[in-house]
Amino acid sequence: MKIPATPFTITKFSELPASAAAGSTGSSLSRTAEMGDLRIRLVEYGPGYLADHWCDRGHVFYLLRGEVTVELGDGRSFPMQAGESFQVSDHGDSPHRVRTATGAAAFILD
Q: What is the pTM of this model?
A: 0.92
Answer for the pair 66, 99: CB distance below 8 angstroms, yes or no.
no
Domain membership flag for residue 54:
yes
Q: Find the domain containing 50 and state its range.
A: 19-109
Phi then psi for 14, rounded to 5 degrees? Answer: -65, -20
Model confidence pLDDT, tens digit, residues 45-92: 999 999 999 999 999 999 999 999 999 999 999 999 999 999 998 887
Residue 3 lies inside a defined structural domain of this protein: no
**61 contacts 106 by C-beta, under 8 angstroms:** yes
Asked whether residue 1 is assigned to any structural domain, the reply reads no
Residue 17 DSSP code: P
39 lies in some domain: yes
**Cβ count near 89 (within 10 Å):** 11
Query: Once rounded to an integer, what is the mean pLDDT over residues 25-50?
Result: 95
Who's near 5: CB < 8 A, 6+ residues apart? none
Structurally, the chain folds into a number of domains equal to 1
